């Protein structure tokens, strides 16, 4: 797979004389590489549509271009079916502990808030919606049909998803990133960037906030501070809606991993990732139900 990816990247017609083509660590959906061409460096993302995850590359491309225009993401250099070439950023990739650092978290929240306020204005084509409860229902139906090894817990998840959707209540809509893993946040020493827009689409802002917290282990005081910074104030009802969305975010990550256990060909331990996220979901649900 590595040799095939290098050959594909080297053959892209946007490059004149590509060299130093190296796999880029961190991706658990796509194959990513860095490529030098002349005195410039690029990132190549290789991946087709992923129907089982609702990933449509035309949508990723549209939002990536808008995010670059808005100044949130690197420039799109080239695109063709199965390949996206981006400007390389000389920046540090965050890890979970970086997100939680006191000086970093407010910067990240401000970036997310700006994305929600500004990105939509740069879009000039239709894009997808990403409603996590519909996403979760779709995953569950597919996993049941495929005879997933986790099928015994799926009916309970479906009932909990319906309960959580009711608890979230009415929402505002923004263009969300919808995959706020630490690895999608970069710091060039002057400012932060967001990368990887393959799940982007219309959603409640609560989902990005919940994903930021659940994916990076924010403490409850940090979560309260996050909501207060984002919204200005945080009511008791808003906190309850946020907690419900946090559970939905963790359920979605769990179901994503269960589905990847069946379909993905990448060298990644999805079974362990599923187990980790089941524990996270159960813990968050316990907190939600006891509050």
Q: Taking the chain (291 residues) in consecutive chunks of 10 residues, what is each chunk's mean pLDDT?
A: 88 96 81 96 96 97 98 98 97 96 97 98 97 98 97 97 97 97 96 97 98 94 96 90 97 97 91 96 94 80
Q: How far apart are CA 79 and CA 152, in angstroms?
A: 42
DSSP 148: -
* CA triple 40-45-47, angle to 5 deg: 160
Q: How far apart are CA 141 and CA 18, in angstroms?
A: 44
**pLDDT of the residue at 176:** 98
Pick from 48, 53, 27: nearest CA to 261: 53
CATH topology of domain 92-290: Aminoglycoside 3'-phosphotransferase; Chain: A, domain 2 (3.90.1200)
Q: How far apart are CA 213 and CA 222, in angstroms?
A: 8
Query: Structure pTM?
Result: 0.95
For tokens 């204005």, what's the residue? 121
For the chain, first and last CA: distance in Å?
Answer: 48
Domain 2-87 CATH superfamily: Phosphorylase Kinase; domain 1 (3.30.200.20)
In 47-188, which ranges are E strands?
76-80, 83-87, 92-93, 174-176, 185-187
Residues of the chain with CATH 3.30.200.20: 2-87
- Partners of 37 in the β-ladder: 18, 40
- Cα separations in angstroms, 2 against 27, 33, 49, 200, 245: 13, 10, 19, 27, 38
Pick from 278, 275, 206: nearest CA to 237: 206
Order of all β-strands in the sheet with 18-23: 18-23, 31-37, 40-46, 83-87, 76-80
**pLDDT of the residue at 234:** 77
**pLDDT of the residue at 235:** 87
**pLDDT of the residue at 27:** 67
Q: Are strands 40-46 and 83-87 parallel, antiparallel or unpaired?
A: antiparallel
Number of other residues whose CB lies within 10 A of the CB of residue 194: 22
**pLDDT of the residue at 25:** 79
Residues of the chain with CATH 3.90.1200.10: 92-290
Structure token digits, residue 280: 């996270």
């Amino acid at each position: 797979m590595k040799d095939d990816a290098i050959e594909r990247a080297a053959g892209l017609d946007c490059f004149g004389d590509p060299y130093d083509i190296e796999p880029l660590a961190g991706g658990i959906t796509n194959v990513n590489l860095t490529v030098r061409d002349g005195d410039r460096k690029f990132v190549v993302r290789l991946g087709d549509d992923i129907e089982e995850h609702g990933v449509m590359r035309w949508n990723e491309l549209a939002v990536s271009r808008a995010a670059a225009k808005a100044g949130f993401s690197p420039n799109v250099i080239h695109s063709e079916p199965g390949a996206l070439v981006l400007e390389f950023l000389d920046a540090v990739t965050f890890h979970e502990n970086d997100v939680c650092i006191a000086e970093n978290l407010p910067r990240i929240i401000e970036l997310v808030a700006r994305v929600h306020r500004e990105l939509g204005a740069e879009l000039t084509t239709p894009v997808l919606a990403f409603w996590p409860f519909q996403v979760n229902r779709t995953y569950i139906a597919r996993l049941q049909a495929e005879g997933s090894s986790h099928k015994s817990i799926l009916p309970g998840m479906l009932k909990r998803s319906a309960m959580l959707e009711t608890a979230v209540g009415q929402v505002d809509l923004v263009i969300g990133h919808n995959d706020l893993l630490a690895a999608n946040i970069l710091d060039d020493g002057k400012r932060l960037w967001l990368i990887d827009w393959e799940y982007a689409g219309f959603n409640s802002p609560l989902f990005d906030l919940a994903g930021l917290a659940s994916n990076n282990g924010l403490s409850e005081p940090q979560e309260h501070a996050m909501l207060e910074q984002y919204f200005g104030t945080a009511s008791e009802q808003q906190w309850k809606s946020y907690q419900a969305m946090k559970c939905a975010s963790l359920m979605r990550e769990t179901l994503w991993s269960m589905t990847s256990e069946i379909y993905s060909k990448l060298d990644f331990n999805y079974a362990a990732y599923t187990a980790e996220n089941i524990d996270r979901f159960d813990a968050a649900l316990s907190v939600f139900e006891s509050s």
